Structure 1
Amino acid sequence: MFQDVVICGGMRTPIGSFRSKLSSVPVTGLGSTAIYATLEEVGLKPSIVQEAFVGVVVPANAGQAPARQAVLGAGNFCGSTRCVKSCYSCSVIAIFHGLDVSTIVTAVNKMCASGMKSIMLAAEHLQLGLQDFVIAAGMENMSQVPFFLKRGVTPYGGLYLTDGVLRDGLVDAYSSLHMGACTDQVAKKYGISREQQDEYAAMSYRRSAAAWENGVMAEEIVPVEVKDGKNTFIVDTDEEFPKVNYDKLPTLKPAFTDSQ
């Protein structure tokens, strides 16, 4: 018989804009911040967590096993690419957070559905009675994804950098079609006009602004402390929604194809 599954709670960091206020925070740090804020918010001891599933699509250069870093708390301490802390140090960090280093952690890459798939896997493990307490999470920092350079002998004409965000995150491996261009094709197939898309986008921005204005978002946000040299500042609000210009929206050129 399946066991009943209960979602105890959930917290998230603010959503940052590309290469903006949160861009310097390692993806593992963002994930760790949200995970431990959630445990604190619902009053659960980290030591009772037996397993975790963490969605992450473009983890390049985040260090070995980024999902495990986030769950054990290492992301807040050794997320720097210059850090050479040993596994023992990360174990100490995990103990500091109260999570046993034997906790099973699995990274999930199912593109945009990675976080959702993590929730599904966590629920299935609970339903089957495999575990009693499981973390389901998702994390990403596209601003920190590096450019790639192929190894080997330098060819005639030089080397070319490949954008890791496009290569591993946004371009289909089979058709070489950008995800945005694929969306344009779907819109064309189902007769969704440019005007309808603009209207929906504007409605989404207005809903987000209203939610923030009415305090709806506050209960799910954990502020992130960002260090900038010797200075420190706090990010506690989504960055993108205030930047919209409703008058300019209908005049923007298509981002991926010429189709309107």
Structure 2
Amino acid sequence: MANKAYIVGAKRSPIGRFLGGFSRMTAPQIGAQVAKALLDGLKVDRALIDDVQIGMVLQAGAGQNPARQVALAAGCPTSVSACTVNKVCGSGLQTVMYADTAIRAGDVDVVLAGGIESMSQTPFLVREMRGGQKYGSVKLVDSLEFDGLINIYDNAIMGAIGDETAAKCGATRAQQDEFAATSQQRAAAAISNGWFADEITPIETRPGKAPITTDECVRPETTADALGMLKAVFSERGTVTAGNASQLADGAAMTLIASDAGLKKLNAKPMARIVAHATTGRDPREVFLTPIDANRL
């Protein structure tokens, strides 16, 4: 019988606005503070951690193996293995799935799993400079766009694919604006009522400055009517706008996953048990429909 995997604890940073409060921090620096807060709060002996799996999409300029940076900065011993995972938007969730799989197989008992990202820190690339540019201008490539927001197979930007997906599924502009406005209002209510307080780790950005304690991207004044006045960004008849699309942002989230044996070692009670997981693939132009397939497995 396969071992069971449990979520022992979870923490996240506030979501930092693009070029906002976290803009001077690398993604591993943000993630390390969250990981340390999670492990300290659970009173985890770092020597009990068998593996660290951290998801990160935009790795250019972040330094070797960002997961290893997080692990060591959070106090894990050098003997603990760490791996950085890139499955684009599914990177962080993939680390939890890996932890579940490894625990079921009996390979590990305790895994630190999570995701980190800094869109603000992504560099511009100059491909021609490695061999030298003898004459003429060189082109800067935005790694934020190239590594994260462009379909490498046909150069379609994710927003345009969002327009295509909405049209294919019959999701109207009004429905998207209403959903986005409701999301903003719910986030604002959650902050106002303190519902995020237990999950958020205050992040120290630099000495002498107050830590960031709340999400920077929430716009509580947002209404569907106001969003309806915005122009589509990616095509004239599109439905994706700057108001109803996901924002560019910085942040990190961490979980501690354990087996039954791991729970005993940690002397911990679980928050939840991972019952199952699934992942699927489709044509790259149908990327936003893959969660539907996974949920049906």
Using the size of structure 1 for normalisation, the TM-score is 0.86
C-alpha distance in 2 between matches for 1:66 and 1:244: 37
The one-letter code sitting in structure 2 at the alignment partner of 1:16 is G
C-alpha distance in 1 between matches for 2:233 and 2:131: 35
2:188 matched to 1:212?
Answer: no
2:23 matched to 1:23?
Answer: yes
The one-letter code sitting in structure 2 at the alignment partner of 1:120 is M
Q: Do the aligned residues in 2 keep the contact of 1:31 with 1:71 (CA within 8 Å)?
A: no
Does the residue aligned with 2:101 lie in a helix, a strand or coil?
helix
CA deviation vs aligned residue, 1:7-37 (integer Å, no higher than 9, x gap): 1000000000100111111111111111111
2:196 matched to 1:250?
Answer: no
What is the CA distance between 1:153 and its match in structure 2? 3.3
Matches within 5 A, 1:73-112: 73=73, 97=75, 99-112=76-89
Does the residue aligned with 2:39 lie in a helix, a strand or coil?
helix
Query: Counterpart in 1 of 2:57?
Result: 57
Matches within 5 A, 1:35-46: 35-46=35-46
Matches within 5 A, 1:175-186: 175-186=154-165
What is the CA distance between 1:43 and its match in structure 2? 2.4
C-alpha distance in 2 between matches for 1:63 and 1:241: 30
Query: Counterpart in 2 of 1:146?
Result: 123
Aligned residues, how many? 235
Q: Which runs of 5+ in 1 are unaligned?
A: 74-93
2:205 matched to 1:226?
Answer: yes
Does the residue aligned with 1:120 lie in a helix, a strand or coil?
helix
C-alpha distance in 2 between matches for 1:242 and 1:234: 20
Alpha carbons of structure 1 residues 109 and 45: separation in structure 2 relative to 1, 3 Å: same
2:151 matched to 1:172?
Answer: yes
What is the CA distance between 1:202 and its match in structure 2? 0.4
Q: Once structures 1 and 2 are overlaid, which stretch shifts more, 171-180 or 40-49?
A: 40-49
C-alpha distance in 1 between matches for 2:51 and 2:208: 36
Q: Once structures 1 and 2 are overlaid, which stretch shifts more, 172-181 or 38-47?
A: 38-47
Does the residue aligned with 1:53 lie in a helix, a strand or coil?
strand
Query: Counterpart in 2 of 1:198?
Result: 177
Q: Which runs of 4+ in 1 moved over 6 A?
A: none
Does the residue aligned with 1:165 lie in a helix, a strand or coil?
helix
The one-letter code sitting in structure 1 at the alignment partner of 2:168 is K
C-alpha distance in 2 between matches for 1:234 and 1:33: 11
Q: Sequence identity, in percent?
A: 37
C-alpha distance in 2 between matches for 1:21 and 1:199: 28
Q: Do the aligned residues in 1 keep the contact of 2:181 with 2:222 (CA within 8 Å)?
A: no
Q: Do the aligned residues in 2 keep the contact of 1:209 with 1:242 (CA within 8 Å)?
A: yes
What is the CA distance between 1:233 and its match in structure 2? 2.4
Q: Which structure has the higher relative contact order (CA within 8 Å, separation 6+)?
A: 2
What is the CA distance between 1:124 and its match in structure 2? 0.7
What is the CA distance between 1:195 and its match in structure 2? 0.6
Paired residue for 1:236, among 198, 207, 213? 213
What is the CA distance between 1:68 and its match in structure 2? 0.5
The one-letter code sitting in structure 1 at the alignment partner of 2:92 is G
* Structure with greater strand percent: 2
Does the residue aligned with 2:7 lie in a helix, a strand or coil?
coil
What is the CA distance between 1:154 and its match in structure 2? 1.8
C-alpha distance in 1 between matches for 2:122 and 2:41: 30
Paired residue for 2:167, among 166, 183, 188? 188
Query: Counterpart in 1 of 2:47?
Result: 47
Q: Do the aligned residues in 2 keep the contact of 1:56 with 1:138 (CA within 8 Å)?
A: yes
Using the size of structure 2 for normalisation, the TM-score is 0.76
Q: Do the aligned residues in 1 keep the contact of 2:184 with 2:220 (CA within 8 Å)?
A: no
